[in-house]
Chain A
């Protein structure tokens, strides 16, 4: 051993922590894949229909909402081809809820892994979201079938669809990082999220059209463009609007919309990731 033991030999420059963690995550991509597969397998285990539920579930929900809203909605608010309209919003929303609610538990639910073996902990929420993405993509079979049935007009801008899905995934992942971390330290995150997701559902134009928001409404003496603000404050409203533009209306989506949502999603993702790795060291002893 020629090395002088008194002087610790350090590499000249260590890349920033976030980059190191990303490199490590790339090395562990196989683990993410395996976790996604095992999550999907575990979900459909002991169910007779298996993955068919991914298709049946949205169909059944579509049926329920269509029946209910055909009574509730007045002629003024009525939407043409309501089942299709609903499906275009409901599928992305379901994906979002499932991804968020599933990954809130992703770290706590895998306590036996986290406490006993080392691997980059971010693999857990990532796998949680990706498992739901697979489900979502399967549900597109139903959606495209419905598009054909209702003879919707296929937009030439349909190639944007994967990008929209990607943006939504980034956004969901960012939220998943934050919530799964919080849930390790405070288990009531789960309970609170139940309520928040319900409120979020009704504040997002999923079952109704964004047209229902007034363009001008007087709040505390100011005239407020409620529809515009609903989009700005709620990225999910913008995302679902984009899905509807591309799939239901068959038109193109607005560029400023698109950019703003992209930026919001990326900011949430980067903050979420930073937040997660800031605290993930302590998971082993907190669980």
Chain B
């Protein structure tokens, strides 16, 4: 193991180099915290079970000045440990680590602040933790205070601050000290929307000035907006490292599959009791099975915006039923009723049905945006005066962001933007649109 830290960055050389770096934690099986325990353990030769945990294994990364790297992965995947090793809080267990240049790190809320000191005093303290002289801090302190928007609170002890205020002050100091490298671990999520936008603007500006950034976030949109490279870490191993769009697609695909497996086991258990409560109808036609299928005809419970989806209703009719109507309803998990297509609206007149069969509803491109949705099923007679089977919001499915960048509201309308006087593109785009 070797760790090298250079105070200044060498132009043209990487800022950070990790070479087969691993980190091991001894899982705290109550380590001997006192002499008494140590003494006892001499006699008890039972050698407390050594549970090891490797938050990072064999990680090799090279980061050049000007990179802006997003780090994604689920909780506990090793993202924070990586940042802590780069910042110097934790030493690697094995491997070589070289870090050059001055680092500002926003790893935790209020880190580097002394609760009893005022905001202003803490700015100086925090600055000195980043290795900035008092003189330099005096020059920029007004800008920092202004940026943090703390008003009169700047001269109150920091222990009275709200978490949003902590974050504003912490970020304000970090960005104004103009570090070679900035490490940000999720803390920005604490700020309100206005401050988050302000942070993003500042980060963009910092990048334009050639600053290097490592950003851990669960906000994939933010990462996509500012990063030029994304690392996906899972179980302490780098799963993907590359262009943001590529890495995120891989990440989401993996995540959707994982979620599906989890939900399947979960749902089977719930199915029985649910059916009785949220189902009514005289039972002359019963929908026995509902499948949500992808393009290949495989059943899933997770889809991405823009994916094709087919809802297949397996029914069983007792006797002959004249012209029944099959319908669906989709609700957002928070209750909004989004749509309710049925065979009558769709222009499909069914002849008399008997026995069992399948009715399917084909959606060429799912326009629902990311979120959880509930599906209801109904079979009624031709005048909607008799309900054969009604299953109210019994089926859940999830939608994850697809290639569409849209994120506001519930649905995308699959519209196309264009400039009216555009001569070259307009006809082709319009043609393509109406051709569907």
Contacts and interface: CB of A to CB of B under 8 A. Distances in A.
B87 A118 contact: yes
Contacts, number: 91
Given A1-B12, A8-B19, A30-B128, 16 more contacts: A3-B12, A24-B5, A24-B7, A27-B131, A30-B132, A38-B114, A38-B116, A42-B116, A112-B111, A116-B89, A117-B107, A117-B129, A118-B87, A188-B36, A284-B89, A284-B91
B62 A116 contact: no
Interface in A197-215: none
Interface stretch (B117-125, B190-198, B322-330): B117-125
B62 A31 contact: no
Nearest to B125: A34
A151 B32 CA distance: 56
Interface of A: 1-3, 5, 8-10, 14, 24, 27-28, 30-31, 33-35, 37-38, 41-42, 45, 112-119, 186-188, 192, 281-282, 284-285
Given A5-B62, A113-B112, A284-B90, A186 B133 contact: no
Given A5-B62, A31-B129, A118-B105, A186 B33 contact: yes
A38 B117 contact: yes
B291 to A, nearest CB: 50
A42 B33 contact: no
**Which of A5, A118, A284 gathers the greatest number of chain B CB atoms within 10 Å?**
A118
Contacts of B129: 31, 113, 117, 119
List the 7 shortest-distance A-B pairs measured between CB atoms, nearest first: A116-B111, A118-B88, A31-B128, A30-B128, A281-B91, A117-B112, A284-B89
Contacts of B133: 30
Contacts of B5: 24
A116 B112 contact: yes
Nearest to B3: A281
A27 B89 contact: no
A3 B10 CA distance: 12
Interface in B60-85: 62, 64, 84
18 contacts: A1-B12, A1-B64, A8-B17, A8-B19, A9-B13, A14-B4, A30-B134, A31-B125, A31-B129, A34-B128, A38-B116, A41-B117, A112-B111, A116-B111, A117-B111, A118-B88, A118-B105, A186-B32
Given A27-B7, A42-B116, A118-B89, A187 B33 contact: yes
Contacts of B107: 116-117
Contact of B89 (A9, A41, A117, A187): A117
A179 B64 CA distance: 41
Interface string B9-35: 000110001010000010000001111
Interface residues of B, number: 43
A41 B33 CA distance: 31
B13 A3 contact: yes
Contact of B111 (A9, A30, A113, A186): A113
A118 B128 CA distance: 11
A34 B90 contact: no
B38 interface: yes
A190 to B, nearest CB: 10
Contacts of A285: 25, 90
A160 B107 CA distance: 48
A85 B287 CA distance: 101
A146 B34 CA distance: 45
B108 interface: yes
B378 interface: no
Contacts of B87: 117-118
Question: Considering residues A34, A38, A45, which has the most beta carbons from chain B within 10 angstroms of its beta carbon?
Answer: A34
A195 to B, nearest CB: 13
A118 B116 CA distance: 20
Nearest to A117: B112
Contact of A33 (B12, B36, B117, B128): B128
A42 B84 CA distance: 28
Contacts of A10: 4
B406 to A, nearest CB: 37
Nearest to A43: B116
B124 to A, nearest CB: 6
Nearest to A14: B4
Nearest to A45: B116
B412 to A, nearest CB: 41
B285 interface: no
Nearest to B35: A188
A40 to B, nearest CB: 11
B103 interface: yes
A187 B34 contact: yes
Nearest to A10: B4
Contacts of A8: 17, 19, 96, 98
B365 to A, nearest CB: 43
Contacts of A24: 5, 7
B116 A186 contact: no
B190 to A, nearest CB: 15
Contacts of B111: 112-113, 116-117
A38 B133 CA distance: 16
A115 B32 CA distance: 20
A28 B114 contact: no
A186 B38 contact: yes
A171 to B, nearest CB: 25
A119 B111 CA distance: 12
B67 to A, nearest CB: 12
Nearest to A35: B125
Nearest to B112: A117
Given A14-B4, A41-B116, A285-B25, A28 B128 contact: yes
A45 B118 CA distance: 12
B131 A38 contact: no
Of the candidates B7, B62, B96, B114, the one having the most CB atoms from chain A within 10 angstroms of its own CB is B114
